[in-house]
Amino acid sequence: MILLTGATGNVGRELTALLPEARTLTHGSGADLAEPETLTAALQTVDTVFLIWPFLTADGAEATLGKIAQHARRVVYLSSSAVRFGPDTDPITRLHSDLEVAVRASGLEWTILRADTFASNALGWAGQLRAHFPRVGRPEGSCLRLISPRRRWRGPGRPRRPGVRRRPGLPVGCR
């Protein structure tokens, strides 16, 4: 059994559609990734957990991974491609770097997905665009690689190239 966390989110919604046989962790029903004991029921008979970490720091991640390890064999963690720039680049990079360390130390088998920027982030600009706020362009020559959760996601069980699991993080996005 696969347990999908973040199932109501941008990525989780797509994964839920791709893996209808998987169980979903529903935050609204009382399961909270910050409170490991609330995960007990959802983790029963689970073999693999697809983990997103919806918080701004890695505080509590060790305890949550410990709880997962009591039940499951494997974790697939959705990290960020920004990790390659080093943990001190910005707080979000720090968060994902810390989570990767915690995942590797958890004793679980792991796959780490390093995703590029989600195109769905752009929806956050919708209100400003409607209000005709000016937009600041990116410097000439720079580019932002966007990934659509719908078009690019192929699921944690389908790496793009054979042998890619030996790498520290599996890149997901536009290369």
First CA to last CA across the chain, in angstroms? 32
How far is 7 from 15, CA to CA, in rounded Å?
8
Q: 83 and 108 in contact (C-beta within 8 Å)? A: no
**3-state helix, strand and coil shares in percent for the chain, rounded to the nearest 5:** 40, 15, 45
Count of residues interacting with ligand NAP (CB under 6 A): 22
CA 166 and chain centroid, separation: 19
Residue showing the smallest CB distance to ligand NAP in the complex: 9
Closest CA to 5 of 44, 37, 43, 49: 49
Nearer Cβ to ligand NAP (28/163): 28
Q: Per rule CB under 6 A, is residue 36 in the interface with ligand NAP?
A: no
Binding mask of the shown chain, residues 39 to 78, with x at each position contacting ligand NAP by CB under 6 A: -------------xxx-----------------------x
14 binds ligand NAP (CB under 6 A): no
Cβ 113 to ligand NAP shortest distance, Å: 8
Query: For 55, what's the count of Cα atoms within 13 Å in the CB-facing half-sphere?
Result: 13
Region near ligand NAP per CB under 6 A, out of 29-37, 41-49, 101-109, 130-138: 29-37
Q: How far is the CB of 137 from ligand NAP (least distance, A)?
A: 19
H/E run at residue 51: strand 48-51
Residues 108-127 that bind ligand NAP (CB under 6 A): 115, 117-118, 121
Q: What is the DSSP letter of 155?
A: -
42 or 108: whose CB is closer to ligand NAP? 42
Where does this chain bind ligand NAP (CB under 6 A)?
Answer: 5-12, 27-28, 32-34, 52-54, 78, 80, 115, 117-118, 121
